[in-house]
Amino acid sequence: MIVLTNIELTVLMSAVLAALMVGSVHLRVNLWLYGATTILIAIATGLTAYPNEEPSLLLIALLIAGLKSIAIPLFLAWTMDRIHVHRDLGALVAPPIAMHSSILLLGLSFLLTQGLPTPSGTGAGWYGASAGISLVLTGLLLMLTRRLAISQIIGFLVIENGIYVFALTQTRGMPLIIEMGILLDVLVGVMLAGLLTFKIQETFEHIDIAKLTDLKD
């Protein structure tokens, strides 16, 4: 019987939500689920603040909730409306199969992280690490099985979430300034990517990255 702390439960739930994301090709559903994933991660951050007595983590939690789980999805939804895409076509494997494999990847990361050394004094043990790794793998899978540039951005965001969860659960919390920097980086990156997508759409009349191979010569 495995006993989980609240933090571990929250991050594992966010990993499950991210895995569900792979099953739908509706971009709006993806964004919703991404928002939910990130809110859960923000809650986990907030929970970490208690045992470590670092009130700065609360601020970061608020920032994550505000920027990553509300602002970014809203911005991407706005971009989607502007370029009139609502549904990805999917690539490589069918979305249902991809979703099942992402669940299997969750199991796999569970097996893999068992061997990792557990740092003491952090809020979560290797279950948290497995959630982080699973998020990264899910993000990669999402990017692999999607065609549109917008989906690639979402996949990238999921990977970023995974890295953040891994750092959150395996360290005693990073300095506030670094966290803020990363957050800003992500925000600016997404803004740029969104605008670029908009530009790609204007220039090529599609944002299908499968057709970007035309650019190779």
Partner 1 sequence: MITELIHWLFFLLSVLLAPIVILGTIRKTKARLQARRGAPILQAAFDLIRLAQKGETVSSTASWIFRAASTIGLCNVLLISWLVPWLSFAPWAPPADLFLVVYLFAMSRIFTLLAALDTGSAFGAFGASREATLSLLVEPAALLGLVALGATSRTSDLREIFSFTNTHLQMNPAIWLLVGTAIILSSLVELSRMPIDDPTTHLELTMVHEAMILEASGRNLAIIEFTHALRMSVLFGLSVQCFMRAAPAVWKLPEIIQAMITIIGLLTIAMAVGVFESLAVKLQWRRIPEFIAYAITMSLLAALIAVAGGIV
- Site for partner 1, rule CB under 8 A: 1-4, 16, 19-20, 23-25, 94-97, 99-100, 103-104, 106-107, 110
- Cβ atoms of 110 and 2 within 8 Å: the answer is no
Smallest gap from Cβ 167 to partner 1, in A, equals: 24
* Closer CB to partner 1, 3 or 177, in the complex: 3
User: What is the smallest separation between the CB atom of 8 and partner 1, expressed in angstroms?
Assistant: 10
Question: The tokens of 205 are what?
Answer: 């009349």
Joined together, the tokens standing for residue 90 give 């999917």
Min. distance of Cβ 10 from partner 1 in angstroms?
13
**Which of 127/166 has CB closer to partner 1?**
127
Identity of residue 126: W
- Give whichever of 100 and 206 is closer to partner 1, judged by the CB atom: 100
What span, in angstroms and rounded, lies between the C-alpha atoms of 136 and 146? 16
Q: Which of 179, 124, 99 is nearest to 12 (CA)?
A: 124
Report, in Å, the least distance between residue 197 CB and partner 1: 25
Tokens read off for 135? 């998020």
Instruction: Output 116 or 192, the one with its CB closest to partner 1.
Output: 116
Tokens of 151: 């989906």
Closest CA to 123 of 66, 63, 57, 72: 57
- Rounded to the nearest whole angstrom, what is the least distance from the CB of residue 212 to partner 1 in the complex? 26
For partner 1, give the closer residue by CB, 2 or 177.
Answer: 2
Q: Give the DSSP letter string of 76-96.
A: HHHHHHHHT--B----SS-HH
